[in-house]
Amino acid sequence: MSVALFFEANDELSAQALTLAQSLGEVRAFSFEGPYAPAAWASALIDAAGDDDIVGPGSERGNEVLAHVAAQLDLPFAANVTDVRGDEVTRQRWGGTLLEEARIHAPRKLLTAAPFAFAPSDSLLQAETLRPDVSGAVQVTEHIAPDTGGKVSLADAKVVVSGGRGVGSSEGFAILEELAALLDGAVGCSRVVTSAGWRPHTDQVGQTGTKVSPDLYIACGISGATQHIAGCKGAKKVLAINADPEATIFAHADYAVVGDLHEVVPAITAELKKVKG
């Protein structure tokens, strides 16, 4: 039995999807050239796959292309799968803070691999390049580069200093900004903060914001709602600073400081300056 893989890019999520695909059978990988046009890409992937199962990465485009494949074939599609057992899958709900075990009633499987649920495969892969005809198809017509003002982006930052309700105001983020700058990191926030208008939505870490995967995530005055955890669970290590020792965030943290962030964060900044000279 062979499996068709939507090999989106030579990146970590596609390498993780390859691991899932390899667990299902012999893999034929397909990459794409030309403007992104999800419906046309899906059609080309269907033609190339024959009757095989189709697997993609759990990225935005992976989930989008597989959903187009599913709509074109009128077959079920299980997004963000963490495990496959015969015709049963485990998949992520609520941005990965809850799992669903489900049975697929179909002659073939359409799946994406949940981000960071599989170790990336180190197999050398020869992907076949597809160049679908995208004329007349809905497609990307222009790309706008972000204006980051020279700062590291939230998604790419090695350190994210994030603030929640406990920060108290828009001005309160100045101490987080200072610490982040010292660490070459980015500032993030919880949904409460963007809803209150203290920070723009582009700074929001969470299920409906940016999903981050830094080496260190510093959660300051964040209670730890599932909405937020869904965005930061890709972090290698989490340090939580919170005045409430019972805060849920501590159950998701590797390191804890119990205390008022308005005192703790400046103290960390001062100590860093001292150590760095």
Compute the distance between CA of residue 51 and CA of residue 49 in angstroms, rounded to an integer: 6
Residues 165-194 that bind other proteins (CB under 8 A): 183, 185, 191, 194
Q: Work out whether 90 is an interface residue with other proteins (CB under 8 A).
A: yes
Site for other proteins in 11-70 (CB under 8 A): 36, 38-39, 60-61, 63-64, 67-68, 70
Give the DSSP letter string of 182-241. Answer: HTT-EEEE-HHHHHTTSS-GGGBBSTTSB----SEEEEES----HHHHHHHTT-SEEEEE
* Alpha carbon distance 90, 110 (integer Å): 13
DSSP-assigned letter for residue 14: H
Structure-token match 């679908």, residue found? 132
* Token digits of residue 268: 């960390």
- Sole binder of other proteins in the list 74, 85, 131, 277 (CB under 8 A): 74
Q: b or e along 184-214 (b: 16 or more beta carbons within 10 Å of the residue's beta carbon)?
A: ebbbbbbbbbbeeebbeeebbbbbebbbbbb
| C-beta closer to other proteins: residue 2 or 202 | 202
For other proteins, which is the closer residue by CB, 174 or 272? 272
Q: Does 101 bind other proteins (CB under 8 A)?
A: yes
Options 2, 158, 168, 234; binder of other proteins; rule CB under 8 A: 158
Instruction: Tell me the per-residue interface mask from 219 to 238 with other proteins, x by CB under 8 A, - otherwise.
Output: ----xxxxx--------xx-
Question: What is the number of other CB atoms lying within 10 angstroms of the CB of residue 181?
Answer: 14
CB of 244 to other proteins, least distance (A): 11
Q: Does 209 bind other proteins (CB under 8 A)?
A: yes
CB of 126 to other proteins, least distance (A): 25
Report the residue from 46, 48, 75, 130 that binds other proteins according to the rule CB under 8 A: 75
- Specify the residue, 46 or 258, whose C-beta has the smaller distance to other proteins: 258
Is residue 133 at the binding interface for other proteins, with CB under 8 A as the rule?
Answer: no
Of 16-24, 127-135, 164-172, 259-267, the window that binds other proteins (rule: CB under 8 A) is 259-267
Q: Judged by CB under 8 A, how many residues of this single chain contact other proteins?
A: 93
Whose Cβ is closer to other proteins: residue 28's or residue 240's? 240
Task: Give the pair of three-digit tokens for residue 225.
Answer: 């709602």
* Helix 174-182 and helix 261-276, axial crossing angle in degrees, nearest 10: 30
Q: Are 190 and 216 in contact (CB under 8 A)?
A: no
Q: Is 93 in the site for other proteins (CB under 8 A)?
A: yes
Question: Per CB under 8 A, which region of 43-51, 120-128, 151-159, 166-174 contacts other proteins?
Answer: 151-159
